[in-house]
Amino acid sequence: QATVLVPPGTGAVPPTQPGPWIERVVGWLGKVFLQDSPTRPASPEAGNTLRRWRCHVQRFFYRIYASLRIEELFSIIRDFPDSRPAIEDLKYCLERTDQRQQLLVSLKSALETRLLHPGVNTCDIITLYISAIKALRVLDPSMVILEVACEPIRRYLRTREDTVRQIVAGLTGDSDGTGDLAVEL
């Protein structure tokens, strides 16, 4: 019977419970590499090897999943709060991997290429900045990622002539896209 792996952010198999499919992979490893079978149980050394493989499979899963979510982070931030489960999944994986630098490089690059150019309305930049603040607070409560990743947005908004006007419009409710600004304050 074929097993369908469902991505963790969908709620079907969260990374906090990689369980069944990892156990199937580890069980397969036991049968293939350790020649484990009901008639010939594995030795204690083989059991230790299998436990190490289980850890490797879990780390591999977390690294791959985090890499996929890091590449999607711009869209995840844009869709926040609807994308909160994806942020929480990524947070869980980042706690188990050393991929914060990869996240920072990827997010800064995505922000600079997709958001910080003259073709994007200032109102849209402010709206995404507000979403980034909310999402990255969940991802990293220390707010280090927020400070580093969003510095290009702050710097770019200072160069836009209509930034102050858009912020004031957002505070007074005169602007469509920055209504979150008035709510936040």
Report pLDDT digits (tens) over 136-175.
999 999 999 999 999 999 999 999 998 898 888 878 876 5
Q: What SS3 state is found at 182? A: helix
pLDDT tens for 65-85 read 999 999 999 999 999 999 999
The whole-number pLDDT of residue 18 equals: 54
The whole-number pLDDT of residue 35 equals: 65
Closest CA to 153 of 185, 112, 118, 104: 112
The whole-number pLDDT of residue 8 equals: 46
pLDDT tens for 26-46 read 667 767 766 655 666 667 777
Amino acid present at 128: L
Average pLDDT, the chain: 81
The whole-number pLDDT of residue 5 equals: 41
Closest CA to 49 of 64, 36, 62: 36
pLDDT tens for 101-136 read 999 999 999 999 999 999 999 999 999 999 999 999
d(CA 2, CA 20): 13
What is the band of 52 on the pLDDT scale with cuts at 50, 70, 90? Answer: confident
d(CA 101, CA 9): 22
